[in-house]
């Protein structure tokens, strides 16, 4: 049952007191505590609206669960709370999707988006066909026809699989650093390119489009392995348009370390000959950027070094990519409610995008697997298959999942939420043939091998080499 406003206020108060109490025990001398107490005391004088209460309870939940995880990392309660919370939020989204699109059986009927896309120009065509002017409502069912290199339609009617393949390939292309819209941090996570202005005059339209497409993938429960930088996730979730210096470590650990050393520098800072500028290299050309008006003629001294440190971090983390982040966030919001997204932590949101970074649960996968082409749960080949994959290492299990679904991670709530469901279909009795997969349908085509040894050998060869991979 949902809480009313009075109950939420009481719960928020109790959680606040618990969090502050734990902070006081863990860090009795922390200066932060006094600031938090002062802020919460002032906030009691002002009533919260419903959206603010949802965000507050979400933030307090994240804090409490984080502290629980630190204090009791093996507590079973934590997993249950997270699972229940995630399931409720996820069901909320899919209830909206069902109301908007209708049931899955009506995929080929009713209002829909119908587009033709050249496979070798997937980003350019999609950017044009799916613009807000051409398709204002991206929540509608989408049916896609892919065209080959000579302009001919590829075989097949889109019953959902071609659309999912298209969306997956589009996102991989859009987030590919080689396209120019995203850059990699030192931790190999993605964030908007700070230099895109020099490459693309209409860059904001592209970030709006990419945000919109990612929103569509989440709306359709499509997992894509796109690792986003934590500070970028933080901005997207409405937890603040700006992030502080601590996030700089994930973006540029060298600059972060240099700034920390500068903060504790014991000599005369003015002797370092620094000023309030930074240098940005764009297309091979160095450009001097002022961190504040008049920064070129303002030396960094011991009295203003802290301001310099924060302005430098703010420029790298916020100023340089602010327009890109705002446009991306607006595109995301065009499909998904930001109030809904704000209920998730950055780590949870990454899990929504890419799946859970946990070992593949073969028993759970087996429970929700479908069969075709003469196979059933009791077929001898299928029994051999499950015995073989149960003996795989965690890495091999992830490779199998990626081979069949194009994503190596399991869905957030387990394989009951994989759409279409994982399916194994007979590929006949050609014993020399390797297993193959149609990732757009999450379909494994498995020949009827006579022994487990041959099945294991052929399956491992296929998943480790990528042999037998079929796009459609």
Residues that are catalytic: 440
Distance CA 81, CA 83 (A): 5
Tokens 């959902």 found at: 160
Counting every residue written for the chain, the total comes to 472
Residue 128, number of CB atoms within 10 A of its CB: 14
Q: Are 234 and 243 in contact (CB under 8 A)?
A: yes
Residues 6+ apart with CB under 8 A from 371: 377, 379, 382, 423, 424, 425
- Nearest in space to 365 (alpha carbons), one of 323, 328, 400: 400
């Amino acid at each position: 049952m949902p809480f009313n406003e009075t109950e939420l206020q009481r719960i928020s108060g109790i959680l606040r007191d618990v969090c502050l109490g734990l902070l006081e025990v863990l860090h009795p001398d922390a200066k932060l505590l006094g600031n938090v107490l002062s802020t919460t005391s002032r906030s009691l004088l002002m009533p919260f609206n419903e959206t603010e209460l949802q965000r507050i309870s979400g933030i307090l939940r994240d804090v409490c669960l984080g502290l629980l995880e630190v204090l009791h990392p093996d507590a079973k309660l934590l997993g249950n709370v997270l699972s229940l919370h995630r399931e409720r939020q996820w069901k909320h989204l899919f209830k909206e999707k069902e109301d908007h699109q209708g049931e899955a059986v009506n995929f080929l009927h009713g209002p829909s988006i119908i587009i033709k896309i050249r496979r070798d120009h997937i980003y350019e065509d999609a950017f044009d066909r799916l613009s807000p002017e051409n398709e204002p409502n991206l929540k509608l069912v989408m049916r896609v026809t892919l065209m080959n290199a000579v302009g001919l339609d590829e075989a097949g009617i889109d019953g959902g699989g071609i659309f999912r393949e298209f969306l997956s390939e589009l996102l991989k292309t859009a987030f590919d650093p080689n396209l120019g819209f995203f850059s990699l941090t030192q931790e190999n996570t993605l964030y908007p390119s700070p230099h895109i202005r020099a490459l693309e005059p209409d860059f904001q339209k592209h970030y709006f489009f990419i945000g919109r497409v990612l929103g569509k993938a989440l709306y359709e429960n499509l997992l894509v392995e796109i690792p986003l930088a934590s500070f970028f996730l933080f901005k997207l979730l409405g937890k603040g348009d700006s992030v502080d210096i601590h996030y700089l470590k994930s973006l540029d650990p060298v600059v972060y370390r240099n700034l920390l050393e500068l903060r504790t520098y014991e000599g005369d800072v003015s002797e370092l000959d620094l000023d309030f500028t930074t240098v940005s290299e764009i297309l091979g050309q160095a450009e001097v950027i002022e961190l504040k008006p008049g920064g070129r003629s303002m030396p960094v001294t011991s009295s203003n070094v802290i301001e310099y440190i924060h302005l430098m971090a703010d420029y790298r983390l916020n100023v340089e990519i602010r327009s890109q982040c705002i446009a991306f966030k607006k595109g995301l919001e065009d499909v998904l409610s930001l109030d809904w997204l704000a209920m998730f932590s950055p780590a949870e949101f990454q899990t929504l995008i890419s799946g859970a970074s946990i070992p593949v649960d073969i028993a759970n996968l087996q429970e929700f697997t479908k069969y075709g082409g003469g196979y059933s749960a009791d077929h001898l080949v299928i029994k051999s298959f499950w015995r073989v994959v149960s003996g795989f290492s965690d890495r091999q299990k992830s490779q199998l999942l990626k081979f069949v679904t194009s994503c190596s991670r399991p869905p957030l709530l387990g394989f009951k939420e994989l759409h279409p469901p994982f399916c194994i279909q007979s590929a006949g009795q050609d014993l020399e043939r390797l297993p193959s997969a149609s990732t757009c349908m999450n379909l494994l085509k498995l020949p009827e091998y006579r022994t487990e040894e041959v099945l294991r050998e052929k399956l491992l060869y296929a998943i480790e080499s990528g042999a037998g991979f079929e796009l459609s």
